[in-house]
Structure formats: C-alpha cells, structure tokens
C-alpha cells in the first residue's frame, strides 16, 4: 500500500487523488519513485519558515548526483536566501511571484556549453528530492536574462535561465487548478511520427 491507504495501481487517476496523496510533504510520505514522479506538482505558496540546513544540503546533494552528457557536470547552483536578493531575482521573471514567497531559491547556472537536457534533469532531481524531504517547489523562468546576469553577478560565458523556488508547504499550498496532462494517445507515436 502507498501512503494513506491508497494501493499501488488503485483505479483513481492521479489527477483525482486528494492533494495530500499527490505530494508527500502534506500528508504521508511518497512510497516509491514512480509515485513521486506522478504526484509532483508546481507549488507556489510556502510556509513562513526557513528551510532546515540539512534538508537544503540533501536537496543540493541530489542535484550534484544528476547525470550529464559525457559527465561534464558543467553547472553550478546559486543558493539565494537573502530576502532582498530574492526580490531582485523575482524581478527577473514575469511569473516570478513564487520566488518572492519562498525562503530559498536555487538558481541553476549553465557553465559554458551545458546541454539544456542536463540542466532540466538537475531541475527535476531537485524538485523530486525536495518533495521526498517534505518540501514543495516551483520552477521559474528568468526571462529577463540581462537583469538576471546582473543581479546574480554571473560571469561571462555562463547562463542562468531557470531557478527553483523551494519551501515547506503552508496550509494554503495547493497546485494550480490548471494542470493535468495530455492523454498518452495524444503524445505517443509508434516507430515514426506519422503513426
């Protein structure tokens, strides 16, 4: 049985499970990696409490272990906790409200020629590891790159296009109603795109 008495393979579609069962941070714990993946949602509201240093360290450790093409590990992470710096960072993102609300943000720096694929893997690892530790998170696009480079003092030749807002859930933490996913039939092709 998964947490909260929901059996693996239960007939309730994940979209219809109460939020508590979709995210281990709120009710119960995630029982398997598979469940964790299906239950992960972007959460934009956070408890008004700092992230425990040990939880943050473990999230960063999960990020560090992300695999990358040719094992380049061509990345670094800027941990933003200073509230004023957080507001400046939020100002780099038109949809950056979660940053202002969060106690921690991890800004993902692509060093040199990092593949977007690699940094995406790291972002997902961060979000899944955070969820396993009872944290909630939201990816944020730093659309205003010029400003982001300036605010984060990114040296030339590097990019920082994404940040992850992190925090413990508050009682009002809920995933946005919009969400859900396209059905498999809409996104899967067999052997070539035409079929």
Ligand X SMILES: Cc1cc2nc3c(=O)[nH]c(=O)nc-3n(C[C@H](O)[C@H](O)[C@H](O)COP(=O)(O)O)c2cc1C
Binding site for ligand X (CB under 6 A): 41-42, 44, 93, 95, 98, 138-141, 175-176, 179
Closer residue to ligand X in complex, CB, 25/98: 98
Question: What's the closest the beta carbon of residue 162 comes to ligand X, in angstroms?
Answer: 6
76 or 141: CB nearest ligand X: 141
Question: What's the token pair of residue 97?
Answer: 């409200």
Q: CB 93 → ligand X: shortest distance, Å?
A: 5
Instruction: Report, in Å, the least distance between residue 117 CB and ligand X.
Output: 12
Q: Which is nearer to ligand X, 51 or 164 (CB)?
A: 164
Q: 133, 139, 137: which is closest to 120 by C-alpha? A: 139
- Rank residues 12 and 57 by Cβ distance to ligand X and give the closer one: 12
List beta partners, residue 167: 136
Residue in the block written with tokens 């809409």: 186
Q: Which neighbouring-strand residues pair with 137? A: 166
Contact at 8 Å (CB) between 122 and 172? Answer: no
Smallest gap from residue 3 Cβ to ligand X (A): 19
Beta bridge partners of 76: 109
DSSP-assigned letters across all residues of 43-64: -----SSPPPHHHHHHHHHHHH
H-assigned helices in 133-168: 145-152
């Amino acid at each position: 049985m998964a947490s909260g008495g929901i059996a693996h393979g239960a007939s309730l579609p994940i979209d219809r499970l109460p939020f508590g069962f979709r995210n281990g941070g709120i009710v119960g714990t995630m029982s398997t990696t598979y469940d964790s993946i299906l239950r992960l949602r972007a959460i934009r509201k956070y408890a008004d409490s700092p992230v425990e240093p040990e939880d943050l360290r473990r999230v960063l450790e999960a990020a560090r272990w992300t695999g990358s093409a040719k094992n380049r590990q061509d990345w670094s992470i800027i941990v933003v906790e200073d509230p004023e710096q957080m507001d400046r960072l939020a100002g780099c993102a038109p949809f950056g409200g979660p940053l202002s609300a969060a106690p921690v943000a991890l800004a993902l720096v692509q060093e040199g020629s990092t593949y977007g694929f690699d940094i995406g893997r790291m972002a997902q690892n961060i979000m899944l590891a955070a969820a396993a530790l009872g944290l909630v998170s939201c990816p944020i696009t730093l659309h205003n790159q010029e400003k982001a480079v300036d605010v984060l003092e990114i040296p030339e030749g590097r990019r920082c296009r994404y940040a992850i807002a992190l925090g413990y859930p508050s009682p009002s933490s809920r995933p946005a109603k919009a969400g859900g996913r396209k059905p498999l039939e809409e996104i899967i092709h067999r052997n070539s795109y035409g079929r």
